[in-house]
Structure 1
């Protein structure tokens, strides 16, 4: 009497009637959550990337931050710091040197 008309072949879905919508809902929810987390991570990377520095950050502050983060060794930090301090000191000298070079150029043109 069980034959093909039983609940196995032609019968209903059994427990899957309730389980399938729950599995589908869980899958869609998981995909949405993963997508949102991925978008937030990408947005944070582009906003605060390691190469992006504050426009108000001086070169010395940038070196200090990189040294504190472990990106630079002590020797690299000291060499770079010396270069920056020399550059800051030479900025004023360069401007005076350019001002002194102008009269000499005008005198040469006058001849």
Structure 2
């Protein structure tokens, strides 16, 4: 009575014949995406040009580091440092001692 084409193997699979390959394809795609994202995040962490971790470094510290690493000669370092300090003075950053210190120095000189 039933035979192979009736309610046997071919009729029993139903929607699984379409759904299983779709699930397998989505699983492979998800694994590829996770792999690519993981590799990119690792590459960004171990990048030698670590510009992302150094934005907190002020210009004077950067000059000191470059001089210590041998990128700048002593004359280049001094010129760049002088130029940087002059630009800080013109930006409104006080480099002179505060008025309280100045008054004490004046009082000591009057004695």
Q: TM-score range by the shorter chain?
A: 0.3 to 0.5
Question: What's the TM-score, normalizing by structure 2?
Answer: 0.40
Question: What's the TM-score, normalizing by structure 1?
Answer: 0.40
* Structure with the largest fraction of helix: 1
